[in-house]
Amino acid sequence: MPRGIGPSGRNGVGLLGILLAIGGALLDFYSGYQILAQSAMTTNDMGTMVTQYTPSALAWGAGIIALGGVLLISALAMGISFRIRRMKASGALMILFGVVMLLIGVSMYWGITPMMQGTALSAPGMLVVGALMIFNGASMRRPRTTMQRF
């Protein structure tokens, strides 16, 4: 039976998981920044622009940026333990992150999150990255003998 093309014979799903986590983190940082930057400017009674965050925008922006930080830390952890046989735990974590990314993407698409200009890129990006994370996490959880056949 031939070995896979990736390290440890895993067909590169571990490396793909690291790249998806980094890409998802970058997308989260961008989306959170856009929410915070665009919701900060409001007008007061005199018609002048002031910087004031609404609680909803602050919660969404900070939460999405925090998710990006967690994704980046998990990508580093997966990179450090890449050759260690912890693919099932990493796969479960990847599935969890994918579900969260899908939920955020759907929330952006439906307009539940505060409005931002980058929604045209962020919502579909979150949906695609979330779906790929779920697929990759499910692939990482397969037994090793199954992975070698692909």
Q: What is the number of domains present in the chain?
A: 1
Give the residue numbers spanning the domain of 26.
10-142
Q: Which of 1-5, 21-25, 82-86, 118-122 has the lowest mean pLDDT?
A: 1-5
1 lies in some domain? no
70 lies in some domain? yes
Residue 70 has pLDDT above 90, yes or no: yes
Separation CA 138–CA 134 (nearest Å): 6
pTM of the model: 0.75
Residue 127 has pLDDT above 60, yes or no: yes
Structure tokens at 57: 């925008």
Q: Cite the DSSP H helix spans in 42-118.
A: 55-80, 87-110
85 lies in some domain? yes
CB 147 within 8 A of CB 9: yes
Separation CA 73–CA 88 (nearest Å): 18
Higher confidence at residue 80 or residue 137? Answer: 137
147 lies in some domain? no
2 lies in some domain? no
Residue 100 has pLDDT above 90, yes or no: yes
Residue-level pLDDT at 134: 92
Dihedral sign, Cα of residue 15, residue 65, residue 30, residue 103: positive
